[in-house]
């Protein structure tokens, strides 16, 4: 299979490229800068352009592009960039596809932020759109993908666990120094997935007929308090003192802290289970152990 990937240089895109290439697939990397290899193809989502031959020579597209959610304080400008980067990249892809073309499969990025803060309630793909900035971003993101003329799955991704980036990459130094601790009361839920299982799930969905939202999360979400204990045990470090919120509010702003750190989603991977996907890492401890 020949697959185009938007966001191919990011954490997930890089891991996916390696897996697909090892599996014998051809990968076309959509890049914003000057192509460095024959497998690179320039695109400009802000202008809605993909260099010739566009997507006419691929069998599927996986779009993972988007400005990092937690890359800085949520200023007005950054919030606009977070939303715009997801919507424009998606529209650039869907308008480059044809119902009669070679490409007949799109996997488009999304996020469990769609559900807002769910408290202790378990939600699945049938649950309603929540409230808050992230929930509104994901709603617009998925609305852009709804224009796709080919069968499309929406990858509602939780926190991806990887050693060299993502959620763990941001907190690893703090926990390794023995300074990790629960955030707030620790009751907010974290829906996680190992990077291995996330990439395996994307490969699985490439040749599956599932369309619409698909929760890419592990089988069992954990509370922030449980995550803190488990990650600290994995690193053989203490995690006794709660994380102070005042400095975080100053650095990142109250809105980001409220939505990303004090809120959470308890999400079930219902559609993956129905489709027969088998997780390699079913518990948080297994996912952390797989990191070495």
* Domains of the chain, each with CATH number or no CATH: 2-289 (3.40.50.720)
Going through 18-141 in order, the beta strands assigned E by DSSP cover 26-31, 40-44, 49-50, 60-63, 106-111, 122-123
- CA atoms of 49 and 41, how far apart (whole Å): 11
pLDDT at 237 over 90: yes
pLDDT digits (tens, 9 = 90+) for 5-62: 999 999 999 999 999 999 999 999 999 999 999 999 999 999 999 999 999 999 999 9
What pLDDT is stored for residue 292 in this prediction? 83
Alpha helices in the chain, H assignment, sequence order: 11-22, 76-94, 133-145, 166-176, 195-206, 224-235, 245-252, 254-256, 270-275, 284-289
- Per the DSSP assignment, residues forming a β-bridge with 193 are 160
What pLDDT is stored for residue 58 in this prediction? 98
What pLDDT is stored for residue 255 in this prediction? 96
For the segment 60-78, the average pLDDT, to the nearest whole number, is 95
For the segment 141-170, the average pLDDT, to the nearest whole number, is 96
pTM of the model: 0.96
The dihedral of CA 95, 96, 100, 102: what is its sign? negative
pLDDT digits (tens, 9 = 90+) for 163-217: 989 999 999 999 999 999 999 999 999 999 999 999 999 999 999 999 999 999 9
């Amino acid at each position: 299979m020949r697959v185009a990937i938007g966001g191919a240089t990011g954490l997930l895109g890089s891991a996916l490229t390696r897996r697909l290439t090892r599996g014998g697939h051809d990968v076309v990397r959509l890049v914003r800068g000057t192509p460095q290899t024959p497998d690179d193809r320039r695109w400009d989502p802000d202008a809605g352009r993909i260099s010739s031959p566009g997507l006419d020579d691929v069998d599927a597209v996986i779009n993972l592009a988007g400005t990092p959610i937690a890359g800085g304080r949520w200023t007005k400008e950054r919030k606009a960039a977070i939303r715009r980067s997801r919507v424009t990249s998606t529209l650039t892809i869907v308008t480059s596809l044809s119902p009669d073309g070679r490409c007949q499969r799109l996997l488009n990025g999304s996020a469990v932020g769609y559900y807002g803060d769910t408290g202790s309630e378990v939600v699945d793909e049938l649950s309603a759109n929540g409230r808050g900035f992230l929930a509104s971003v994901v709603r617009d993101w998925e609305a852009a993908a709804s224009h796709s003329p080919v069968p499309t799955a929406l990858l509602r991704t939780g926190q991806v666990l990887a050693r060299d980036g993502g959620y763990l990459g941001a907190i690893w130094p703090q926990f390794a120094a023995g300074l990790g601790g629960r955030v707030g009361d620790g009751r907010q839920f974290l829906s996680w997935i190992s990077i291995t299982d996330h990439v395996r799930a994307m490969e699985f969905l490439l040749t599956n007929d599932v369309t619409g939202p698909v929760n890419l999360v592990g089988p069992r979400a954990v509370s922030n308090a449980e995550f803190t204990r488990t990650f600290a045990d994995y690193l053989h470090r203490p995690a006794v003192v709660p994380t102070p919120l005042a400095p975080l509010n100053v650095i990142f702003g109250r809105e980001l802290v409220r939505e990303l750190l004090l809120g959470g989603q308890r999400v079930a991977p219902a559609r993956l289970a129905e489709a027969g996907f088998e997780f390699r890492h079913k518990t948080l401890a297994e996912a952390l152990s797989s990191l070495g």
